[in-house]
């Protein structure tokens, strides 16, 4: 620089005070958490028959949040009876227009109580408030609004002139998007005229129970929505109950397989939304800075606890180093910590069990010779934490390229040609989603035709919309949720 009095040098900048973001925690006081919760059956919170309960904790601090009832087979039976009764006497007789009023009312209450729901979701699940506030809860309301609109238009949905509800739906949902998965299940079921018995995951029951309060607030007829909390046993009881007409499950492929076995030979219809090992494919002509954002969003969104996470980065060899350098620089700016801090990007791993699984698969990756890298990152003392991690030099033969890790761990694989990218992307037992990054529109369409994945995102990733169907190929499950297609799973033709 010719004139140092005008423009400072980069050297002096190292001594400058840094722009440290002060803590900006969202207030916990917006939500009242009861010390214990009953089961929500027939419109009331009731104690479980045998009085068993379990604790739900905050994964960020391991603090106990509440005592939650554990539903036994008998409790599930009561819930299914309540749902059947409500279906026969009230809900199936009600006009679509009346049903839609209840759904619209629920959607509006969700919006009104969005802050409360977001804080509770972040407390119980560990996800950053930025995501629960800006992604989860707005989508929850959007799904209810969307399906509310369908309730009086079912005869125009393309499933016959007079589509009828199936009856009672037994629904089991996972812990990664507790409230959003509830919305994906309950909104279309109710719109189509079914009643539901829903079991939330044992580590994240609280927002489902708050949703039960919202059903009361909306004056939803008793028994239309029943929430039974518990673990695997409770879920099995819901799925196996003889009076359940429809089973809907989102979760691991192993559990999905056993559900398929349970319902085999019965008249129950089933939709399963299971695991994934999605390829996020970056071509050499990709908009590179946005592709890096898409990679970050693909695998580090919700700590990688996303069934459609872009856990395999397929990057064209000619730009691999540049993309990796940019990715690492970007990862160094991710802020890990208190999920309730509004500036947190990466929250806590949902449970000790999940953390152990992520650790063990990451250790396998290292043992198999892949290069492991994480940015410098202080992990909090309490709670369950895992730093954002990438593995380079991964080949198709590595376990971390094949098995779902369900954590903030990315496997980086290179390819040379579009055909090789397709081949590698499809070379997995899963087929839930994929991403394609290129400036060339024709190549996006060419790829989308060949990728065996339920969702293919073009120059974006992890985007959800109630109008868009979502679901998998192969071991990622069957059936579609969302959109007009999502109604089909809840209608008899």
Partner 1 sequence: MTALLPDVAEVTSSDASLRRFLHGLPGVDQVGAEARAAELATRSIKTTAKEFAIDLAITMVDLTTLEGQDTPGKVRALSAKAMRPDPADPTCPAVAAVCIYPDMVGVAKQTLGESGVRVASVATAFPSGRAAREIKLADTRNAVAAGADEIDMVIDRGAFLSGRYLEVYEEILAVREACARPDGSEAHLKVIFETGELQTFDNIRRISWLAMMAGAHFIKTSTGKVQPAATMPGTLVMLEAVRDFRDVTGTMVGVKPAGGIRASKEAIRYLVMVNEIAGADWLDPAWFRFGASTLLNDLLMQRTKMKTGHYTGPDYFTLD
Residues 293-312 touching partner 1, rule: CB under 8 A, are 293-294
Minimum CB–partner distance for residue 134 and partner 1 (Å): 7
DSSP class per residue in 350-416: S-HHHHHHHHHHHHHHHHTTPEEE----PPPSSS-----EEEES--TTSGGGTS---SSEEEEEEES
Cα-based distances in Å from 230 to 55, 312, 383: 10, 33, 22
Q: Which of 20, 32, 162, 449 binds partner 1 (CB under 8 A)?
A: 20
376 binds partner 1 (CB under 8 A): no
Cα-based distances in Å from 337 to 2, 25, 131, 221: 44, 11, 14, 41
Q: 23 or 232, CB closer to partner 1?
A: 23
- How far apart are alpha carbons 456 and 433 in whole angstroms? 6
282 binds partner 1 (CB under 8 A): no
Minimum CB–partner distance for residue 92 and partner 1 (Å): 42
Residues 404-443 touching partner 1, rule: CB under 8 A, are 439
The β-bridge relationship of strands 246-250 and 168-172 is parallel
Q: 107 or 315, CB closer to partner 1?
A: 315
13 binds partner 1 (CB under 8 A): yes
| Angle (CA) 213 215 216, round 5° | 65
342 binds partner 1 (CB under 8 A): yes
363 binds partner 1 (CB under 8 A): no
Q: Which of 44, 62, 63, 325 binds partner 1 (CB under 8 A)?
A: 325
| Contacts of 70 by beta carbon, 8 Å cutoff, 6+ apart | 48, 52, 53, 54, 229, 230, 231, 234
Q: 6 or 376, CB closer to partner 1?
A: 6
CA atoms within 13 A on the CB side of 319: 21
27 binds partner 1 (CB under 8 A): no
First to last CA, the chain: 76
Of 70, 131, 202, 273, which one is the catalytic site residue?
273
366 is catalytic: no
- How far apart are alpha carbons 194 and 198 in whole angstroms? 12
Sign of CA dihedral 160, 164, 169, 175: positive
Minimum CB–partner distance for residue 322 and partner 1 (Å): 5
CA atoms within 13 A on the CB side of 248: 31
114 binds partner 1 (CB under 8 A): no
Minimum CB–partner distance for residue 76 and partner 1 (Å): 41
Task: Lay out the site mask for partner 1 across 458-487 (x = CB under 8 A, - = otherwise).
Answer: -xx---------------------------
Q: Which of 101, 108, 115, 326 binds partner 1 (CB under 8 A)?
A: 326
Of 185, 156, 164, residue with least CA distance to 87: 164
Q: Which of 219, 243, 322, 363 binds partner 1 (CB under 8 A)?
A: 322
What is the set of active-site residues? 273
**Residues binding partner 1 (CB under 8 A):** 1-3, 6-8, 10, 13, 16-24, 130, 134, 285-290, 293-294, 321-322, 325-326, 333, 342-343, 439, 459-460
């Amino acid at each position: 620089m010719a004139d140092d009095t005008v423009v400072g040098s980069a050297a002096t900048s190292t001594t400058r005070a840094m722009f440290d973001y002060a803590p900006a925690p969202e207030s916990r006081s917006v939500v009242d958490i009861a010390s214990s919760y009953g089961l929500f059956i027939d419109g009331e919170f009731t104690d479980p028959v045998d009085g068993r309960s379990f604790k739900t904790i905050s994964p960020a601090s391991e603090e106990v949040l509440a005592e939650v009832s554990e539903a036994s087979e008998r409790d599930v039976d009561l819930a299914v009876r309540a749902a059947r009764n409500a279906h026969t006497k009230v809900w199936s007789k009600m006009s679509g227009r009346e049903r839609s009023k209840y759904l619209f009312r629920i959607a509006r209450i969700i919006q009104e109580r969005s802050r409360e729901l977001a804080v509770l979701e972040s407390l119980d699940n560990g996800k950053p408030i930025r995501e629960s506030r800006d992604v989860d809860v707005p989508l929850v309301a959007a799904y209810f609004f969307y399906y509310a609109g369908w309730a009086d238009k079912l005869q125009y949905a393309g499933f016959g002139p007079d589509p009828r509800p199936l009856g009672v739906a037994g629904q089991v949902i996972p812990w990664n998007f507790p409230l959003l998965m509830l919305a994906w299940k309950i909104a279309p079921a109710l719109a189509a005229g079914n009643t539901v018995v829903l079991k939330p995951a044992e580590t994240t029951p609280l927002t489902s129970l708050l949703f039960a309060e919202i059903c009361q607030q909306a004056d939803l007829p008793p028994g239309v929505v029943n929430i039974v909390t518990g673990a695997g046993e409770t879920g099995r009881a819901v799925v196996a109950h003889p009076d359940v007409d429809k089973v809907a499950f989102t979760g691991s492929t192993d559990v999905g397989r056993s559900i398929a076995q349970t319902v085999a030979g019965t008249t129950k219809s089933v939709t399963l939304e299971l695991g994934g090992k999605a390829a996020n494919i970056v071509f050499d002509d990709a908009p590179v800075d946005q592709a890096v954002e898409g990679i970050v969003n693909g695998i580090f969104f919700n700590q990688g606890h996303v069934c459609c996470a872009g856990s395999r980065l397929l990057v064209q060899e000619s730009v691999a180093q540049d993309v990796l350098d940019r990715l690492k620089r970007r990862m160094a700016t991710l802020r890990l910590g208190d999920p309730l801090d509004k500036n947190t990007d990466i929250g806590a791993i949902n449970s000790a069990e999940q953390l152990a699984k992520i650790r063990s698969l990451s250790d396998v990756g290292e043992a198999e010779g892949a290069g492991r890298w994480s940015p410098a990152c202080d992990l909090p003392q309490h709670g369950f934490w895992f730093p954002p991690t990438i593995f380079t030099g991964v080949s198709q033969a590595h376990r971390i390229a094949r098995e779902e890790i369900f954590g903030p761990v990315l496997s980086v694989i290179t390819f040379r040609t579009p055909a090789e990218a397709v081949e590698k992307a499809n070379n997995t037992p899963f087929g839930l989603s994929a991403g394609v990054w290129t400036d060339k529109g024709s190549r996006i369409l060419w790829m989308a035709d060949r990728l065996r994945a339920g969702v293919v995102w073009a120059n974006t990733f992890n985007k959800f919309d109630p109008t868009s169907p979502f679901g998998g190929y192969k071991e990622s499950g069957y059936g579609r949720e969302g959109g007009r297609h999502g109604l089909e799973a809840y209608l008899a033709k």
